[in-house]
Structure 1
Amino acid sequence: MSVWDDLVGQGPVVEQLSSAAEGTSGLAHAWLFTGPPGSGRVTAARSFAAALQCEETPRGCGHCASCHQVLQGTHADVAVVRPQGLSFGVGEARELVLSSASRPTGGRWQIVLFEEAERATERAANALLKAIEEPAPQTIWLLCTPSPEDLLVTIRSRCRQVMLRTPPTAAISEFLVQRDGVDRETAEVVARASQGHISRARSLATDAEEWRRRGAVVEIPRRLTGVASAVVAAEKLYQAVKAEAKARTTELDEAETSELRHALGENAKGRMPRGTVGALKDLEKRQKSRATRSERDAFDRRLLDLASYYRDVLRLQLGAGNDLFNVDLEPELRTAARNGRPEDTVRRLNAIMQCRERVAANVHPQIAFESLTLALRTG
């Protein structure tokens, strides 16, 4: 066992980070972890943080107290920054810069692990720049983004880059079998359906509801028989995704609100002391921002599921159908490929990508979905 066990199909990255943790290849004060969604950017950064704090030799043993604490997110000298809303503001950035200058309380380093650093606003990024340029002697920054271009050039030029790739399907399948006890046939199917996204593969393998949601999306193409069916399909998709996103945030929102009300002195009758309204409104604002982000992420996840269907159709039309995402739908996909033209499939894929852009640009999702399903029907 080691801290690197959860990094799937990333041999060169493990070698690079192991050498740095051991001190054999030099240790930079700022690192930028990039790679496509699901490749394991945050996993790699967290594993590296554990190796840096490890008490044993070689670094990254996976069983000492420091390794365990970092991997569990409880190490006092590893600050994990996980933006909850749509963006990370300048006020939060200044607080982070201040805390990053602290000396380690017990570990070897003071480490800041910033997940989804691309969510930092321009002002926030500029506030972080100075600390990354001239960090405290024992401070190390670990930034995670999908692409280097997601950060200011002045920040990324001061970071050593770690580039992860999309894990091979076989590696994901083997991981599910070995780590989660998934039967091999199921592991192979969900590894393909996940499109190289490790956590998505685990969810599809272990959560029957998530598999059902994915199934409801990839059956949309066969239901688009007319204008009315296209509008109905858009409505069902919109409502289903909203319900999915709400389910992901409601329980957390309720727990946070209850905890804050208790901390502020709520009495037995549910009344709050004077002067606490502002704190509750601030929490509500953060929760709304998180809910909006959760919805957008859910919408995007389902659109990518839908895109996987047409990518498979296009592969078959071009004679490259040996590595389908949706192997469970192969007979249907082959029929769709025979009955259509590659240029129509490309237009459908472009329509899905355009819908993703519209939702990200704050177009009402239901309107964007209706436009999409109508475009998919006509090709």
Structure 2
Amino acid sequence: MAVWDDLVGQERVREQLAAAARDADALVTAGSTGADVPEGSRMTHAWLFTGPPGSGRATAARAFAAALQCVSPDRALGAAPGCGFCDGCHTALTGTHADVTVVATEGLTLGVKQTRELVRGASLSPAVGRWQVIVVEDADRFTEQAANAVLKAVEEPAPRTVWLLCAPSLEDVLPTIRSRCRHLTLRTPPVDAVADILIRRDGIDPQLAHDSARATQGHIGRARRLATDPAARDRRSAVLRMPLRVADLGGCLKAAQELVDAAAAEAKQVAEEVDEKETEELRAAMGGGPGGRMPRGTAGVMKELEKRQKSRLTRTQRDSLDLALTDLAGFYRDVLALQFGSQVAIANVAMGDALDRVARESSAEQTLRRIEAIGECRDALDRNVAPLLAVEAMAVALRAG
């Protein structure tokens, strides 16, 4: 299984990365360095992966990182780097390679302190691998100071260091950074391709795989979650019933409260599982005694952990709520398709009766206004508006149309 096998529906990007990995392998084999990349080479020291949610930006970056570390002997026979089986590929993909650093922020932002540590690591020569690779899955979350720290590292690249930055769009990254990166755009994978990988890799029932892929419109991560988690399917069904519950103001406010509460409960469940393990591991590492007693001088470390956990909880709740809003927008997208008589495939087939009812009882103009209201709610959440206030305002707008 090659490192590219999980890159679904991205044939053009896969070809570009495979070609760059070949050139990178030739540079290292010839004893050259990242700073000495010859003109015309398909390899460069900084890459920017953009694409809609679910397109596989981080998957592509991780696969490329593994290909850069490939040490398969078959390369000498002309095989492309990225076999997926050698020690370099395997450790890079599993997150244990000494020269591959993957940053997936758990908070709302990536701060300058963490970023400076990345920059320091990027200045080092590879310890055991062929390249020093830094993968940042959420480059759009850099604070201004953090982005400036990365800019300096990208402007003056260390030999054999490669930055792989991921963001939803070019506009989400500092212009001075994106101008120094090679840009790759990923697309939303076809529904059939997503269903196929769920069947092949995860052993999902074919009907459930196709239903999940269609419901999420090609979002790989969400499709897998729906296919493997009955609770996620139940939560989604509850969200999609919201358009039927906003007939009066009381219904709007109740539906909004339940939506926010469900997101908070889901985030809390996820956080509790991770937080408990993290806390116990840190206590053990710091020499904590029975009854929760900790050695002197460790209170600051524990407080820092609690701060990170609180930030992660906030982001998890926001992400859960945003996912629900995305599903809700998908419902009205199907309504709009019915109202226009479009031949576009309906995503929420199981909600056929509700879709027909809403389509009959409203106009296309009203549906568009409702979709805009959902978008405005998502924007408000990005601006740190209190979740309940933002969702209540949206629910009232859904009622008014």
Report the TM-score, using the length of structure 1 for normalisation. 0.97
SS of match in other structure, 1:141: strand
Partner in structure 1 of residue 320 of structure 2: 298
State yes or no: 1:66 paired with 2:88. Answer: yes
Distance 2:303 2:335 in 1: 49
Provide the residue aligned with 1:12 in structure 2: 12
2:282 alignment partner AA: L
In the other structure, the counterpart of 1:46 is: 62
Which ranges in structure 2 are unaligned for 5 or more consecutive residues? 27-40
* Cross-structure match for 1:252: 274
1:319 — aligned with what? 341
**SS of alignment partner, residue 106 of structure 1:** coil
Deviation string 1:172-230 (CA, Å, 9 cap, x unpaired) is 11121222222222222111111221010001011111111111100111122322222
Would the alpha carbon gap of residues 111 and 75 (structure 1) be closer, same or farther in structure 2, given more than 3 Å must change? same
2:189 alignment partner, SS class: coil
Q: Which segments of structure 1 move beyond 6 Å, counting only runs of 4 or more?
A: none
1:148 CA drift (Å):
1.2
Partner of 2:392: 370
Residues 1:36 and 2:58 aligned together: no
Q: Is 1:198 aligned to residue 214 of structure 2?
A: no
User: Following TM superposition, by how much is the alpha carbon of 1:322 offset from its aligned partner in structure 2, in angstroms?
Assistant: 3.1
The answer as to 2:355 corresponding to 1:333 is yes
Q: What do residues 246-270 of structure 1 show as CA deviations (whole Å, max 9, x unaligned)?
A: 1111111111112222222222232
Alpha-carbon offset, residue 321 of structure 1 = 4.4
Instruction: Name the CA distance, whole Å, in 2 between partners of 1:265 and 1:241.
Output: 36
Question: 1:327 and 1:277 mapped to 2: Cα distance?
Answer: 53
Identity among equivalent pairs (%) = 55
Asked if 1:151 corresponds to 2:167, the answer is no
Question: Which whole-Å CA distance do the structure 1 matches of 2:285 and 2:362 have between them?
Answer: 61
| Equivalent residue for 1:284, pick from 282, 303, 306 | 306
Residue-by-residue CA offset, 1:257-291 (whole Å, 9 max, x unaligned): 12222222222232222222111111111111111
> 3-state DSSP class of the match of 2:49?
strand
327-336 vs 354-363, greater mean Cα deviation: 327-336
Q: Which residue of 2 aligns with 1:95?
A: 117
Deviations 1:227-247 (A, max 9, x none): 222211111111111001111
Secondary structure (helix, strand or coil) at the match of 1:269 reads helix
Work out the CA distance in 1 between the residues paired with 2:203 and 2:239. Answer: 27
Local SS of the residue matching 1:80? strand
The 8 Å contact of residues 34 and 147 in structure 1, kept in 2 or not, is answered as yes
The answer to whether the 8 Å contact 1:351/1:375 transfers is yes
The 5 Å alignment of 1:150-299 reads 150-299=172-321
How far does residue 340 in structure 1 lie from its aligned partner after superposition? 1.3
**2:34 maps to which residue?**
none
Question: Cα deviations across residues 102-136 of structure 1 (Å, max 9, x unaligned)?
Answer: 11111111111111011111111111111111111
Structure 2 residue identity aligned to 1:41: R
Q: Describe the superposition over 1:284-304 as per-residue Cα deviations: whole angstroms up to 9, x where unpaired.
A: 111111111111111101011
Deviation at 1:325, TM superposition (A): 1.5
User: Does structure 2 retain, via aligned residues, the 8 Å contact 1:132–1:158?
Assistant: yes
- How far apart are the structure 1 equivalents of 2:374 and 2:332? 10
Q: How many residues align?
A: 379
Judge conservation of contact 1:314–1:345 (CA < 8 Å) in 2.
yes
Question: Which residue is 1:355 aligned to?
Answer: 377
**Partner SS state of residue 108, structure 1:** coil
SS at match of 2:101: strand
2:36 maps to: none
- SS of match in other structure, 1:111: strand
* Displacement after TM superposition at 1:363 (Å): 1.6
For residues 270 and 242 of structure 1, the distance between their equivalents in structure 2, rounded to whole angstroms, comes to 28
Aligned to 1:87, the other structure's residue is in SS state coil
Matches of 2:44 and 2:222, distance apart in 1: 32
Partner of 2:290, secondary structure, is coil
Letter aligned with residue 99 of structure 1:
G
Displacement after TM superposition at 1:378 (Å)? 2.0
Matched residue type, 1:42: A
Counterpart CA distance in 2 for 1:272 and 1:335 is 61
3-state DSSP of counterpart to 1:231? helix
Contact 1:312 1:321 in 2 (8 A): no
- C-alpha displacement at 1:33, in angstroms? 0.6
How many angstroms apart in 1 are the aligned matches of 2:289 and 2:135? 38
CA distance, structure 2, for counterparts of residue 259 and residue 109 of structure 1: 31
Q: TM-score, normalised by structure 2?
A: 0.92
